[in-house]
Each structure stands twice: as C-alpha cells, then as structure tokens.
A and B are shown apart, each in its own frame.
Chain A
Amino acid sequence: MANGAMDDASLNTATTSIIGAAVPRIDGPFKATGTAQYTADFHFPNLVHAVPVQSTIANGTIRKLDTAKAESMPGVLLVLHKDNIGKLYRVIPNDFSATSSEARPPFEDTRIFYWGQYVAVVIAETLEQATAAAKAVQVEYDSAPASLKPSLADYAGKRKSVSKRGDVNKAYEEAPVKVDQLYVTPVETHNPIEMHASVAVWDGDNVTLYETTQGVWNAKLAMAQILGIPSENVQIITKYLGSGFGGKLFPWPHSAMAAVAAKRLNRPVKLSVNRRMMFSNVGHRPRCEQQMKIGATKDGKLVALRQDYLNHTSFIDDIDEGCGECTPYLYSVPNLEVTSALVQRNTGTPSPMRGPGAVPGLFAMESAMDEMAIALNIDPVELRLRNEPEKDESTGQKFSSRHLKECLETGREKFGWSKRNPAIGSMRGTGSQAGKILGWGMAAASWGAFRFGANASVELCPNGRVCVRSATQDIGTGTYTIFAQVLHDKIGVPLDRIDVFLGDTAHPEGAMSGGSWATASCIPSLVMACDNAKRTLLRLAVETEGSPHHNHDAAKLELTSGFVHPSDQPYHQGIPFEEIIRIARVSGVTGQGRTVSTFEDPKAKDFSLHSYSAVFVEVEWEPDIARLRVSRVVSVIDGGKIINRKAAANQIMGAVVMGVGMGLLEETRYDQRNGQPINGSMADYLVATCPDSPTIDVTFLDYPDLVMNEYGARGVGEIGLAGVAPAITAAVYHATGIRVRELPVRIEDLLKSNIREA
C-alpha cells in the first residue's frame, strides 16, 4: 500500500466469504454520479429558504430586535424570533431515550450565551433574498463580560472522581521514576464535508424532516419532544450523510427553526447551515487540559497513574469530554485515579467528536508514557509490553478479545522499529528523504466496543429480490454495503438483487451511527431477521400444496444462493425462493430481527469490551527551515472481525489523515473580545490536505470478538484516530528534541529546536 491507495487484489485474497471481503460500496455509483441525494439536495415544489441571524456578542441579552426592514424586503415571507416562534420545549435531560445537542430550543429567551447564537431566522422565496434580509435584521444587545479565555488553569472548584483504585498519591510519592506533566488539546471543529441542513415538509399534523443526522430514530423522538407533538407525527429521513464525526449525533436548534417556519407558512422550508456557522452552532471538541502523573519502578512497571482533567463546556450544557475513557484499563497499574471537572466558557455547546474522551485522553496518556520510557531509558514499545494487564483492572472483568500486545509487536515489525536509534535527531533520510532528519514515534490506543438495541426487517420479495429495512443510516462509512453483505451471507442472493433501505424512521428503529457501534449493533438484528424470514419460507415450502418440497421435513431444507433445496442436494436442484412465494400466493416473506444491547446482555456483562491499536509514525524534518511532515504511518488495528476490508481500511486511513490534522494543524480560535471563531472557514481552519497525508499502512488483526455478535465484529470508526497525535509528538521529539504538550505542533515550537542542520 503506497500513499494511501489500497491494493484491492491483496484485500480480496483475505477471505473467500463475503464477510471480510473488500466489497466496493453498493452506493458508490450513486455518489460518483451525483444521484445520491444528500439532505440539502432535497427540493420540493413551493420550497422556501431560511437563513438564521446570529448574535455578534458572546454574553448578554437582546435589548431590541427590529425586523421591520427585513420584513419589507423582496421575497421575505416570515421572520421568526423569540416573540413569535411559539412554544418549543426542551428534551427531557439525562434521559437517554432521546437526546438533543443543545438544551435550549431556539429563541427560548433574550439571553445570549455565545457568539453566533441564533437570534432570529428569515424565510424568503430564494436563498439570496433570505440572506440579504437576514443581514438587515437589526439587533441591539446589552453586552456582559464574556468568559472566553482558552486556558482553564484558573479552575479551583470541585473535581469528580471518575475511577479510583489503590492509593495513588502515596504510590506516586514513593515511585522511583516519575512523570508529571500537563497536556493540552485545543478546541477542534468537526468539519464533515457535508454541512448540516434541515428540510421540513408538513402534511397536516405530520412533519417530515430531511435531516443531516447520525441517528434518525433519536432525531424523531427528540424533535417530537421539542415541537411538543406525538412522535408518530414525526418522520426523519437521512438518505446519505457526508459524515458527521459526532457533530450530527443529536439535533441542533436549526431543525426546530425549519420545522416551525414550514408549519407557519405551510410550505416546505430548507435551512442550510453554512461553513461559518459550522464553527459556532453545531458543536466542537472542547479544549482539554490534563495533568498526568505516572510513577514507575526502575524496570518499567507502572505503580501509580493519576489523570486530572478539565474540559470547557458552554453555559447552556454540561458536556464532559470523558478524557478518562481508556485510562483505567489500558495498562496494569495497582494505584490509579482519574478526576474530572468542567469549566464554563461563552462558546456553543461542545459535542462528541470522533473518539470523544479517548482521543484527547490518549494524547495525554500516551505522551506521558513516551516521556516515562525516556526517563526510564526503556524502548517505548517495550514499556507498553511490560505493563500489559491480565484483566480489566478497573472492573475486574475479563477482556473479551484483547490483542494490544500483538498490535505492538506487529507494528514494530512492519515499521522497522528495530532500526531506530533513540538519540534525538540522529536518524537521516535517504533517497527522496535525503537531507532530512527522521523522527520515529509510536503510541498505543483503545476505544470501547458497544452494541445497542436495533431492529431490522428482511423481506423476500416475489420478484426474487431481497429487501432489508432499518431506521439506521449510513454516515458514509459503508453501512448500506455491510447490510447487503450480511444478507448475501445469510440468504445467498447476489448483491445486485439486494435492496437496502436505511435512513428513514418509517422503518423499524435501528442503531445510531456513532461510537463505532453501528455495525456491531446491526448485525444481530440482521442475522435474526434473515433466519426468521428463512424459517417462514421453508415452512411455506413444506406446507404449501404444489411446492416441490410439500410434506418434506423443513429441517432438512436449506436456502442457498436464493434456492430452496434439500440439504443433501446441490442448491441448483432446488427452486428459487420466489417460486415458493408464488405457489403460496403470499405477497412476500418477511422476518424481523432485534439486537439486544451489550448493557442488557448477561453474556456481555462479564466482559470488558474494547478495540485496540498501535500506531507508528515517521516524521521528516528540515531543521534549517523548520519544515516538518508526517511521512509514514503504520497502524495495526485489533477491531474484531472486519466485515468489509475496504470500508474498514478507508476508515483507518481517513482517521490517520485526521490525526495529522489534530497533531499539526487544527485549532479553533475564538476572538477574545467578542467570542467569534476567527478562523471559521476551510481556508483558515487548517486540516490536512493530500500533500500532508503520509503513506499509510493498515493492518487488521481480524480476531473475531464473539461476545459482540456472531461474526465477531466490533467497529473501526474511531480507533484509527486515537493514538495518532501522541505518536506524532513522540516522533517530533525524536527528530527535533522539542516535546510539544499542547497541540497542535506549530512552526513556532519547531523553531525552538537546537538542531539547525540535517
């Protein structure tokens, strides 16, 4: 694999079953030809456009809102604001059956909590008219001092103990070797290529909301609560998503604005959140400040681990980033404590972003481990291997399937780690890297494995096609294809005879696309639905007069490649399933399936369920001009059984590129006077571009985790990002001698290196 390109041939040889094969996305042609309809692509007769008006202060109240000029402008139909939006409700807090992103519904009162907060919305015949009129809404504020300081260091309040065992303070004091450092990750903004949008269409008392959501079912329940209408009156449709990275898990206030406007005007309304609003109104990864204390014996056995983290949140919601996600179980250490606290700032509400908690948490944890390895003069891979736990020491549970050691050993081998000279700035590139210093660093990582409740309905149709329906959605990762693969595996009809219907709450409740759990959650429901449909079909085959299998024993029949046949005969001697359907005079055969969540599954309760990875990074560094590039990454993933190698490798590669952004580029900056995200555009907020992307080598260990589902799949959406940033900063240290503990690594940091020539 060179430069991120996957070698299809090598992927295909991995397995003969479709489970694990590198199946191209079945929706690929629709996306490539532009026929896939993303939310903002939906258009209806009479549709009108909504453009929000945003606050220009970070804290205070609205004194006066004058819409007269805007209302008189061409094409303007309605201006909604706090005096005329009508009654909207909050979603019941901390009730996980339905969740919203920001507790406040739009225009709840006159208070302003952050720059960019919606204060009104203008609806007009065209987008241009609405945009112009939104500019003409006059808002006067009573501004109050805002809390905007990036640093959270002044926090002196209480801390919550998240995980605790042994006597960490004593053990740390007594430890012969110590690391005590503060690690900081900045605010990062989710920047999925598809921006948020909402298209609202009413039919009487029923509303259909075309949403950009990672959870159509949650959106249905949450929007029903917000609008104060029965949930059966709300339909949510998300056919395709241009990703979300967690920012689209739960509804944001713009959806309610579109819904109310559409109801009021009795016309379809489209509201597209633009890129600039993406930086203020739809979440971000909060800033995290983590004090890490690690104590170890001289031979590298951890004896104490303490993580005290802070993250900022808004004045509206308490969002704990959860930086202690992996700390309690990643390594064996008898004395440990993790504490957390929140610090309020005048920003919008943070929201989960790819690997929430684990990703910033592991930046701190793995950076501290690298510093500990240096303090001990032990190879950093070796240090991790020496601290491999037998069981989850935070819960006492067994690990369902943990192969972190093999990740580390495989990665070490593939990367060529044995050639590493640990002396700073000691390694030189050759060939195209001639004249550059190389830095090599590594990190371990982990992410939880979860299975949530989900339902699916499979239908064997009279035309020989097989349909599956579930109200989950494809966030862009390949869920449509994975559904088709499971159906093909279970029923045998070719992929081009399988129709997958997702992203619509008309279907049975499915899983949310988040936390890397969609695949693991969907599989049991799919398998069960297939089995149930099959059972009914075989029963019809033996019960229906005229069927060639009439009066046979159903237990001795099988469904293979779409044919019903006796188990002891080749499938093509049977008859196509659609024949049975015809003879039985039924409209089709359906089967329902349901997944029980890992939290309710007694079998899963005994296990600590996680994915693991090891990331090895090479940076190339030109000291005279302080130019640094991540040149090579080896990522070894223990993510359970891989269902689709192509889609999975795509996740890991994308995550590595995102990790380069996190390590070297990304930071949302708020102007300290008015709280405006000042780099809120794709030209100013830097993410990695193609030339910034390294050569990426992805390896899946592919051990099935059978506690999760019958294939043993866990999920790989997030694990690929965790570990990249600390491996980069370790490599940067190795190349330059500069330890960066506050991301991103900047040219400013690199200029401080004492090494001036390669």
Chain B
Amino acid sequence: MNQFNYLHPASTDQAVSSASSDGSKFIAGGTTLVDLMKLYVENPSTLVDVNDLPLAQVESLPNGGLRVGAMVRNSDLAFHPTVKEKYAVLSEALLSGASPQLRNMATTGGNLLQRTRCPYFRDVTAGPCNKRNPGTGCSAIDGFNRTMAILGTSDHCIATHPSDMDVAMTALEALIFIEGPKGKRSVPINDFYKLPGDTPHIENVLEPGELITHVEIPPAISTKQHYLKLRDRASYEFALASAAVVARVEGGHIHSVRIAMGGVGTRPWRAHEAEAVLTGKPATPAHFQAAAEAALRGAKPHTENAFKVELAKRCVIRALKVATA
C-alpha cells in the first residue's frame, strides 16, 4: 500500500472541500477501497473518511418513500423494518451479497461505487486492463471471461458490475443524491452508471469531490417483489446471474413491472424490453419466457460465458414466477 494522507472531516461541507484535490478518495466501510489499495489497484494520495458524517439514518418520506443515508450499513438496511416490509427485494439482494462481516462494514454509498471483480483489473501484475490503465487493452476478452458481462460490453471492457444491492435499487428506481463543489444534485440510478464504451475507467456520473449523501427510494409499485441470485456456490460469491423483480398484478394480469438484472451487465441492468413485453399481459410462464427472451436479446457472449445467456433467462423467469405468485 502506498503512503497516503488521512482526513477525518466532521461535516459534509468539509468532506466535499477536502476531497476536491487530485487523488483524494472518500472512504466509508473500506471493503472495496482498502482491498484495492492493498492490491495497488487504487492508490489514493488522500483518504477522506466519511464515517463520522451524519449520513447513517433511514427515514420514511412524506410521499411514502424511503430516504437512506449514504453511511447506512448494508446489514442495517437489510434488516430495517420498513425495508423488509415494503422493499423486500432490496433486503433479499443485500443479504445475498458478501458475508455478514462484510455487510456489517459495507455502506449504501460504498456499495453503489464498488468496483468490478474482473481478475485482470484486480491484479496489477496481470496483463493489460483498460479500466486500470486506460488505453492498454483488455485481457479478459481473450482470457478468463466466464464471469464477465454479456450486456453493455464494448471492445474495450467486458467487466461485470458486481453489486446485488444496486440491482434491487435499479428495479426500485432509486434516486441518488449528490453533494459536490458545484452544489447539490440528484440522479436517477438508471442514469448514474455509464457503459464502458471506450472509457471503461469512467464508471458513473460523479465528478471529482462529489459525495453521495443519500438515496431516495420512491414508494414501490407493489410489495410483490423478489431477488434471485444464481451462482456456483451457495454463499460468498458474486452473481453469475441475478434478477430483481417488482410486479403489480391485477386480476392475474401484470399491471406494471420493474425488472433489473445483475451479474450479466457492465452496469446494473434495467430490462425495459422485458417489462414492455409483460405489461398488461397475463402472468403466465409463456409470457415470462417471452420477457426473458426480450431481456437477453442484446446479449453478446464471449468464449466462456455463453451459458450466462440461458442462465439469466431462467433467473428472470423464476424471479417473475416467485414475485407474481
């Protein structure tokens, strides 16, 4: 690990001004950042610790939604009574991720910004990586790519977005609130992440020094929700394919539905096409199948991950089945 400065601001304003210098990084739970620093992948010159900022509350909003502070730990959020009652998909997603110890440290803000598990990205002695070293090339495309993305990839990067929480947040259409040197703004989660294109090192819309203060989750369209995560082993592994479904069913028909997929995209993947296929249709296996086909229509597999196309479809179908039951 390189030498770095360590700042411990007490207010959000202070945090933002401390972090605007080049090479600064916020540190929350540290479960992504410290890991990558030890691997020399992240080499910040200054760490701005946000653990003491007053951002650890979960509050109900007048509109029936929920405001989640950036410093709310993944465990606390997963077990929050309102989340369990109204946003079960989020609770399920959080609890399917990592391990209890990690979830106790991991924060809402940090989870939104966790970085890919691509092994070439995570190892500076491995071959070239456009995300780690822009312009050098992508080792995964012709290498180990079993766990890589099949949606939203480019010729420059095929890294999977690893989060479970963010997939549920995408299906719930969360709004991300940001405070930065230029003021405050909010961004819908679906506009927050960028596709890799030819700049895979730029992963989201955050500008230098911008801090995520909280997330607002609007009232869910229904409590019929499910998160399903498929992987090689039963715990402590990132998704090979996952699906978050929120469905409003009326008289056996799907009134409206939100579907997001994890483990298959270069960002949490909202499946608008699948939603369109289902809207107004009876909640039947045939329609689930058609929706799954639509969700994966643009999939572009690589040498080792063609199975993910089929797996993701089956994941979507089962998640729809459970959510609408």
Contacts and interface: CB of A to CB of B under 8 A. Distances in A.
A676 interface: yes
A674 interface: yes
Given A671-B127, A683-B117, A747-B311, A627 B230 contact: yes
A624 B230 contact: no
A128 interface: yes
A424 interface: no
The interface centre, meaning the residue of A132, A691, A748 with most chain B CB atoms within 10 A of its CB, is A748
A467 interface: no
Contacts of A689: 233-236
B117 A676 contact: no
Contact of B314 (A56, A624, A629, A688): A624
B40 to A, nearest CB: 7
Contact of A664 (B125, B233, B315, B317): B233
B227 to A, nearest CB: 13
A679 B235 contact: no
A691 B235 contact: yes
B86 interface: no
Contact of A747 (B40, B117, B230, B235): B230
B233 A751 contact: no
Contact of B237 (A135, A627, A686, A751): A686
B1 A128 contact: yes
Nearest to B147: A684
A490 B3 CA distance: 60
Given A624-B317, A625-B318, A678-B119, A56 B125 contact: yes
Contacts of B230: 625-627, 747
Nearest to A690: B235
Contact of B234 (A625, A672, A691, A751): A691
Interface in A679-738: 679, 683-684, 686, 688-692
Interface in B171-192: none
Contact of B143 (A54, A678, A747): A678
A412 interface: no
A692 B233 contact: yes
Grouping DSSP codes into helix (H, G, I), strand (E, B) and loop, the B interface class, with mixed when no group exceeds half, is loop
The interface centre, meaning the residue of B40, B117, B228, B307 with most chain A CB atoms within 10 A of its CB, is B307
A665 interface: yes
Contacts of A627: 230
A572 interface: no
Contacts of A748: 307
Interface string B8-39: 00000000000000000000000000000000
Contact of A678 (B126, B240, B310): B126
B63 interface: no
B79 interface: no
Interface in B119-160: 119-120, 123, 125-127, 139, 142-144
The interface centre, meaning the residue of A132, A679, A747 with most chain B CB atoms within 10 A of its CB, is A747
Contacts of A135: 40
B119 A679 contact: yes
A465 interface: no
A671 B144 contact: yes
Given A626-B311, A678-B119, A665 B232 contact: yes
Contacts of A624: 314, 317-318
Interface in B229-285: 230, 232-237, 240
Contacts of A679: 119, 144
A104 interface: no
Residues of A in contact with B, size category: 20 to 34
Contacts of A665: 232-233
Given A672-B143, A673-B143, A688 B233 contact: yes
Contacts of B240: 747
B56 to A, nearest CB: 27
A669 interface: yes
A747 B232 contact: yes
A671 B236 CA distance: 24
A222 to B, nearest CB: 30
A669 B144 contact: yes
Contacts of B5: none
A746 interface: yes
B228 A625 contact: yes
A672 B228 CA distance: 33
Given A689-B233, A689-B234, A689-B235, A671 B314 contact: no
B315 A625 contact: yes
B101 interface: no
A746 B240 CA distance: 12
A683 B120 CA distance: 14
Contacts of A746: 232
Contacts of B234: 629, 689, 691-692
Interface in B309-324: 310-311, 314-315, 317-318
Interface of B: 1-2, 40, 117, 119-120, 123, 125-127, 139, 142-144, 228, 230, 232-237, 240, 307, 310-311, 314-315, 317-318
Interface of A: 54, 56, 128, 131-132, 135, 624-627, 629, 664-665, 669, 671-674, 676, 678-679, 683-684, 686, 688-692, 746-748, 751
25 contacts: A128-B1, A132-B2, A135-B40, A624-B317, A625-B230, A625-B315, A625-B318, A626-B230, A671-B139, A671-B143, A676-B125, A678-B119, A678-B120, A678-B144, A679-B144, A684-B119, A686-B232, A686-B233, A686-B237, A688-B233, A690-B235, A692-B235, A751-B307, A751-B310, A751-B311
Given A625-B314, A625-B318, A686-B237, 8 more contacts: A625-B228, A625-B230, A626-B230, A626-B314, A673-B142, A674-B126, A683-B237, A690-B235
Give the 5 A-B residue pairs with the shortest CB-CB distance, closest first.
A691-B234, A748-B307, A678-B144, A691-B235, A692-B234
